[in-house]
Chain A
Amino acid sequence: MAKKMVTGNPAIWIDPPGAAMYCPGCQHPVVHRVIADVIEEMGIDGEVICMLGVGCHAFVQVAWNIDMLSCAHGRALDSGTALKRLKPEAIVFTVQGDGDCIAIGAGAFVAAMTRAEKITTIMYNNTNYGTTGGQLAPTTLLGQKTTTTPRGRDASVEGYPAHTAELAATFRGTVYSARGSVHTPANYQRTKKYIKTAFQKQIDGAGYSFVEVLVACPPNWHLPPVECLDRIENELIVEFPLGEFKNEDKII
């Protein structure tokens, strides 16, 4: 009987080494796949330019066969702004981690939304600094043990988790903000819809669009991979609810 491929490598994926660079059970490459699927389905692989931050997400630079630029830490939106203004017809999106976007790059992030840049950001949130060994990030949950909070995050010392998608929604320049996850197949599909909508907002020239995605980081959560999926369901979503926080057709 003849066979038709249902799932294989995305069209823009160069294999190897992309997925080989990630720790067992890391969900960064799952989000890479969601983005690659959206680019393929929208037929925009020749128009997108990806501005990469610094962090585990950035290993995708050797895996995607699209135009990409590796930016200084936290500055993907600054470089993206320059590129979008020079090439307004390009679909410019930043891929950033939570540390890159809301810690080191918080100033660039706020400034880009203040200027209402017509760019899209996809922020991978693993609640810690994965690449450098699992330090506290603004997104770390209360009580979560990291290498810099060995007894767990204590609100009286380190404060409270930062809610990035909700923050993005408060800016007038932001027309779309959502938070998804890929810890179940249904959430994978929802996240795909969010990312597609975010790209469409930019194509329509509406304003800034933002999608945060919760991802498992087994070694730094000190859990076997499948238990990380349960942690997302039982702990992360409680702190970081999923859904759309803003969806406008133009800046109002």
Chain B
Amino acid sequence: MAKGEIAIKENNCRGCGYCQRFCKPECIVMSEDKLSSLGYILPVVVNPDECTACGICGRMCPHYAIEVYKYVTE
């Protein structure tokens, strides 16, 4: 059960692959063929259920392309 979710701002992404490297539950992989409008290879979320909302992918992204959200009960 996912504890949260991420939103990738595709226009900011520069395809570096750090998010894939640092996501422990392997929620993120760099796609083979999905490109941003600037031509960079984009990451895709393949395992959304495993996201722990740890925030690491967002913090380690050099291009501020990932927002991380945690699910909260009101």
Residues of A within 8 A of B (CB): 1-9, 13, 15-16, 18-20, 22-30, 33, 182, 184-185, 188, 218, 224-226, 229
| Cα A184 to Cα B60 with chains together (Å) | 8
Q: Once the chains bind, are A6 and B70 in contact (CB under 8 Å)?
A: yes
Q: Which of A4, A27, A28 contacts B70 (CB 8 A)?
A: A4
Instruction: Kindly list chain B residues whose C-beta atoms are within 8 Å of the C-beta of A13.
Output: 64
Cα distance A176–B18 in the bound complex, in angstroms: 31
B55, CB-defined interface residue at 8 Å: yes
B34 beta carbon closer than 8 Å to chain A: no
Chain B residues in 8 Å Cβ range of A4:
69-72
Please give the distance in Å from A109's CB to the nearest CB on chain B: 27
**17 A-B pairs whose Cβ atoms sit less than 8 Å apart in the complex:** A3-B4, A3-B71, A4-B70, A4-B72, A6-B4, A6-B54, A6-B70, A19-B63, A22-B62, A24-B16, A28-B62, A30-B62, A184-B22, A185-B22, A224-B17, A225-B17, A226-B17
Q: How far is the CA of A9 from the CA of B66 in the complex (A)?
A: 9
Structural contact, B64 and A29, CB atoms closer than 8 A:
yes
> Which DSSP category, helix, strand, loop or mixed, fits chain A's interface?
mixed
- State which residues 31-63 of B face A: CB under 8 Å: 40, 53-60, 62-63
Query: What is the distance, in angstroms, from B21's C-beta to the closest C-beta of chain A?
Result: 5
CB closest chain-A residue, reference B30 = A226
Chain B residues near A (Cβ < 8 Å): 4-5, 12, 14-18, 21-22, 40, 53-60, 62-74
Contacts of B12 in A (CB 8 A): 16, 19-20
Q: Inside 8 A of B62's CB, which chain A residues have their CB?
A: 19, 22, 24-30
Interface centre among B5, B63, B69, B72 (most CB of A within 10 A): B63
Residues of B within 8 Å of A16, CB to CB, are: 12
Contacts of B15 in A (CB 8 A): 24
A47 to B70, CA, bound (A): 31
Contact of A6 among B16, B18, B58, B60 (CB under 8 A): B58
Contacts of B63 in A (CB 8 A): 19-20, 22, 24, 29
